[in-house]
Amino acid sequence: MLFLRRLVHVCCPSAPAGSVLDSRQCVFALTLLTLLLQVVVEANSWWSLAMNPLLIPEAYIIGAQPLCSQLVGLSQGQKKLCQLYQDHMQYIGEGAKTGIRECQYQFRHRRWNCSTVDNSSVFGRVMQIGSRETAFTYAISAAGVVNAVSRACREGELSSCGCSRAARPKDLPRDWLWGGCGDNLNYGYRFSKEFVDAREREKSYAKGSFESARLMMNLHNNEAGRRTVSDLAHVSCKCHGVSGSCSLKTCWLQLADFRKVGETLKEKYDSAASMKLNSRGKLVQRDSKFNPPTSHDLVYIESSPDYCLSNQSTGSLGTVGRLCNKTSEGMDGCELMCCGRGYDQYKAQIVERCHCKFHWCCYVKCKRCTKTVDQFVCK
Ligand SMILES: *[C@@H]1O[C@H](CO)[C@@H](O)[C@H](O)[C@H]1NC(C)=O
Ligand SMILES: *[C@@H]1O[C@H](CO)[C@@H](O)[C@H](O)[C@H]1NC(C)=O
Ligand SMILES: *[C@@H]1O[C@H](CO)[C@@H](O)[C@H](O)[C@H]1NC(C)=O
Ligand SMILES: *[C@@H]1O[C@H](CO)[C@@H](O)[C@H](O)[C@H]1NC(C)=O
């Protein structure tokens, strides 16, 4: 990494004098950077940072100014933040990636499986529809960024934040110490809000327009994602004292495992509120029978396509070729997954760990067995 840092430095107009690299190495570095930059062109959202190999901190050393402005996925405000907080960009990319990965896990058995279409547009046109799926995607990406930035603060990776300085919880037993180095949720939340919401905040649309409804929807779901991370954060403690007596405890603020965030947001997806614009240009729930959604809930404004067939105009990839479960009556069952088109049956060989034995002490040894299973694939 140090080598790369030097390479990058030498080609930068602001590189310190007396750099030791020769021109061949310089050409190599420039070629590398050009390649990296090509990947991000055409990107239309900060989500593209997740796909972006640029997110090596070293790349930001080359007078980050031009680099930030070339990141096409960023809005004007996000480019400014990129310049001011260069060391944060890597974690924004990681956060987006964590969010997308978790989305794919949560939706692995659904027709829409959160697959990314290509590196540049990330999710393709599906996100142009103000659907539940879009709501989930915005929320989990924003949540991913809170998660990544809060952790990076704790780990000392960022110059403008450190361990959490959250106040001691009132219900913490008196003799427990508060002040282990915690995840800096406060900073992560604020930075994520500023960065992720910047894109929406820069726009202004006519009151009552569809675009204004979509903008409010996006902001609401970004916030719901951040609050989910915040709601799930908890106090974690460690024992000290002579030979594990636990006479002394040190406690700190800890973010929940991101899987838990994914599960919670998936539940919120299932109970997301359908919204419409009222005459004063505000989003209100379509069905006033239900309690109005809070800032912790997901909201959407358009119904979802059925995602059955590939459709260029909606961006749906369709379910042709997807695996399904013959005996399940859920969304992963062949009937629903294949939208009634039927399925093909294959014999597939899978390799498993088997005949596992426990050996004293302490490991488990397994054999590998091959097993033939029936697989069902949508027509
Ligand atoms: C997408 O990224 C992968 C690696 O991240 C790369 O191998 C592939 O060529 C890229 N595809 C496009 C279309 O840029
Ligand atoms: C694609 O979806 C749009 C909008 O739902 C629909 O009007 C159109 O007929 C679809 N096209 C195909 C080829 O299915
Ligand atoms: C998600 O669905 C697409 C389109 O049907 C398919 O190409 C892709 O392999 C699926 N991804 C996973 C992880 O199942
Ligand atoms: C298929 O679905 C059934 C019922 O939900 C479940 O018990 C079974 O484990 C599933 N099979 C696979 C391969 O996922």
Give the confidence band of 124 by pLDDT, cuts at 50, 70, 90.
low
* Per-residue burial over 97-122, b = 16 or more CB atoms within 10 Å of its CB, e = otherwise: bbbbbbbeebbebbbbbbebeeebbb
Q: How far is the CA of 221 from the centre of ligand 2 (A)?
A: 27
Same domain, 368 and 272: no
Q: How far is the CA of 119 from the centre of ligand 1 (A)?
A: 6
Single residue among 278, 303, 318 that ends a domain in this structure: 318
Same domain, 191 and 268: yes
Same domain, 227 and 361: no
Same domain, 307 and 341: no
Q: How far is the CA of 311 from the centre of ligand 2 (A)?
A: 6
What CATH number has the domain bearing residue 335?
A: 3.30.2460.20
Give the range among 48-62, 75-89, 98-112, 299-313 with minimum mean pLDDT: 48-62
| Pocket of ligand 3, beta carbon within 6 A | 108, 113, 115, 317-319, 322
With respect to residue 19, please indicate whether it lies within any of the assigned structural domains: no
Does residue 22 sit in helix, strand or coil?
coil
Same domain, 65 and 198: yes
Same domain, 197 and 298: yes
Cβ atoms of 74 and 82 within 8 Å: the answer is: yes
The response to whether residue 42 sits with its C-beta less than 6 Å from ligand 1 reads no
Same domain, 85 and 184: yes
Q: Which amino acid is at 304?
A: S
Helix (H) or strand (E) holding 139: helix 132-154
With respect to residue 293, please indicate whether it lies within any of the assigned structural domains: yes
Give the confidence band of 126 by pLDDT, cuts at 50, 70, 90.
confident
Single residue among 279, 303, 318 that ends a domain in this structure: 318
Single residue among 269, 300, 318 that ends a domain in this structure: 318
Q: Which atom of ligand 4 is nearest to the CA of 325?
A: 1
Same domain, 268 and 311: yes
Q: How far is the CA of 56 from the centre of ligand 4 (A)?
A: 41
* Phi/psi-derived region of residue 139, left when phi > 0, alpha when psi is between -120 and 50, beta in every other case: alpha
With respect to residue 236, please indicate whether it lies within any of the assigned structural domains: no
With respect to residue 239, please indicate whether it lies within any of the assigned structural domains: no
Same domain, 356 and 311: no
Task: Give 53 or 337, the one with higher predicted confidence.
Answer: 337
Burial of 140 (0-12, 13-18, 19+ CB in 10 A): buried
Which residue's CA is minimally distant from atom 13 of ligand 4? 325
Range of the domain at 291: 43-166+180-231+255-318
Which residue's CA is minimally distant from atom 13 of ligand 2? 311
With respect to residue 17, please indicate whether it lies within any of the assigned structural domains: no
The response to whether residue 311 sits with its C-beta less than 6 Å from ligand 2 reads yes
With respect to residue 155, please indicate whether it lies within any of the assigned structural domains: yes
Query: Residue 312 pLDDT more than 60?
Result: yes
Q: Which amino acid is at 303?
A: S
Same domain, 278 and 377: no
104, 123, 322: which to mutate for ligand 3, most atoms within 8 A of CB? Answer: 322
Q: Which atom of ligand 2 is nearest to the CA of 309?
A: 14
With respect to residue 195, please indicate whether it lies within any of the assigned structural domains: yes
Same domain, 123 and 191: yes
What are 224-236's pLDDT values in tens digits? Answer: 999 999 999 999 9
With respect to residue 377, please indicate whether it lies within any of the assigned structural domains: yes
- Distance between CA atoms of 189 and 203, rounded to whole angstroms? 22
125, 304, 311: which to mutate for ligand 2, most atoms within 8 A of CB? Answer: 311
Most confident of 14-28, 141-155, 158-172: 141-155
Q: How far is the CA of 113 from the centre of ligand 3 (A)?
A: 6
Q: How far is CA 333 from the centre of its chain?
A: 27
0.75 cut: is pTM over it?
yes
Q: How far is the CA of 377 from the centre of ligand 4 (A)?
A: 14
Same domain, 279 and 353: no
What are 214-272's pLDDT values in tens digits? Answer: 999 999 999 999 999 999 999 998 888 777 677 788 899 999 999 999 999 999 999 99
In total, how many domains does the chain have? 2
35, 39, 100: which to mutate for ligand 1, most atoms within 8 A of CB? Answer: 39
- Distance between CA atoms of 351 and 368, rounded to whole angstroms? 6
The response to whether residue 328 sits with its C-beta less than 6 Å from ligand 4 reads yes
The response to whether residue 312 sits with its C-beta less than 6 Å from ligand 2 reads no
